[in-house]
Structure 1
């Protein structure tokens, strides 16, 4: 296994953000489709969408359950909203697959999984989506989507050059059929197994986050305890997808997302205290952090 390289400003300067020209329009800045949400967590998509905008995306569309679509559109008027059929329990219905496949063509990156809690339904949607994705589509699988991907390893490997997986230690343990303690003892070793099995860019979130793709292994130790709060992962997913939509390969997109997410947490811990800040307070710091690299 390759040794970890620190993910710091030096690495980021060597792997810079896209250089947008002054005459680029919003479509040229990257278009992100966020798929997720449920009746229990109807507003989670707002966090992912704001993070995508703050990281530079020009357009963001939220695809969520029909009953939440109008309130979400009013709460975040910059976003387009796709209302999806929902189950009696308030989850995205597997019948939504056809609508989602039609919507994908107008986007450059997809985030799938945040704020969803129906594992079976998520699995059915993923079965329909993976074979039909446009060839160059950037795909980030997060949250409950990660609970279903063990059954889709071959399909993920087939287009691994465009996919990012974002598990925390517990989710990575589930992916690999291991005890969470084993992941905590050797996160790098477990990550190497996952990267090999799925053939894509994989991270494991923790006090020290690790990121791996091929023979590259990056580590970031920062951000602080305050990032362990509801919605924090939704922010990270939006950052990474935004950079993927803007043309960065998965490794670089994930690296920038991890660093910006962590540094925003570090700033808030310095100004507000080590815990107690909220996930929605992270994205406003992102533009300034990007400018400072």
Structure 2
């Protein structure tokens, strides 16, 4: 049965404010995020995710990425701790065991995995390790979504629902159907994915839809063509992880992240032009948008 669709508006934002740290909070109490992703062909994508988590207010970010990109990322982002993952010949992570991740997962409030990765097989292995070892809030994006159906049972059993952030092609892979079929019924598709995986699911697009099991579906129509640009989804995933690490509930964090991302696009469009602004230029607007609410 189709659920009620609620347009995302300022009334909802005021009713569900983000957690605010007190003035004596240290960086650990503000939230700790581990971001896993990147490959040699898109080594900077995970940087967008990490910076988005910081801009969303998380206090401490660690990044696990392919070994050949780790040093450059650490220099580019002195605010984060970077760990090098084993790397295959194709420039993707090559985890033959959970050992490289097991030491990184303790004392994390949120883990975001998948941004800027392209190998579905390697990504699926990371998902399996995370589901077996991780007790933090999970945010799954990009390549890790392409083989998610094999992990559906374990995802549904999580104490806290994971957050899934697919575009239409990734959602098609998650539901094993054609993207054209999803386009015909975007609402039904996002609800089906939420129910199948027991997760919060946001279908990104000109109108983004956010569904959670048993909850009303939220719709946010950004309408900014400039948001359809490389790295934009990496930013969304990082915002969600940062807000979850701060203590926001998974659905609340996802709804806020979609709104913040869209409104940052509006500000870029107004100040710079409707298309041509970059995903990294969205990040500086997040602070003011959070304070404005």
Q: Quick check: TM above 0.5? A: yes
Q: CA shift at 1:99, angstroms?
A: 1.8
**Alignment-derived partner of residue 118 in structure 1:** 119
The 2-side partners of 1:206 and 1:45 are apart by 21
- The DSSP-based 3-state class of the residue aligned with 2:103 is helix
Q: Partners in 1 of 2:69 and 2:98 — Cα distance?
A: 18
Q: 1:32 is paired with a residue of what secondary structure?
A: strand
Q: What secondary structure sits across from 1:161 in the alignment? A: coil
Equivalences for residues 1-293 of structure 1 within 5 A:
1-95=2-96, 97-134=98-135, 137-159=136-158, 161-214=160-213, 215-293=215-293
Q: Which runs of 4+ in 1 moved over 4 A?
A: none
**1:223: how far off?**
4.7
**1:162 Cα offset (Å):** 3.3
CA distance in 2, matches of 1:229, 1:156: 30
Q: CA deviation at 1:71?
A: 0.8
What's the offset of the Cα at 1:160?
A: 6.1
Q: Deviations over 1:167-205 (max 9, x none)?
A: 111111121122212211211111111111111111100
Output the CA distance in 2 between the equivalents of 1:126 and 1:203: 18
Inter-partner Cα distance in structure 2 for 1:158 and 1:207: 32
Unaligned runs of 5+ in 1: none
Q: What displacement does 1:126 show?
A: 1.6
Distance of 1:28 and 1:9 partners within structure 2? 28
Shift of 1:161: 2.5
Q: For 2:177, what is the secondary structure of its paired residue?
A: coil
CA distance in 2, matches of 1:124, 1:243: 26
Q: Give the paired residue count.
A: 291
Give 1:96 shift: 6.0
Task: Please state how far the C-alpha of 1:7 moved relative to its aligned partner.
Answer: 1.1
Aligned-partner Cα distance in 2 for 1:104–1:182: 38
Under a length normalisation based on structure 2, what TM-score does the superposition of the two structures give?
A: 0.97
Q: CA deviation at 1:216?
A: 2.2
Distance 1:27 1:87 in 2: 33
Deviations 1:5-45 (A, max 9, x none): 11122111101100210010000111110001111111111
Q: Distance in 2 between matches of 1:57 and 1:142?
A: 19
Q: Which has more helix, going by share of residues?
A: 1
Look up the SS of the partner of 1:219 in the other structure: strand
Q: For 1:229, what is the secondary structure of its paired residue?
A: coil
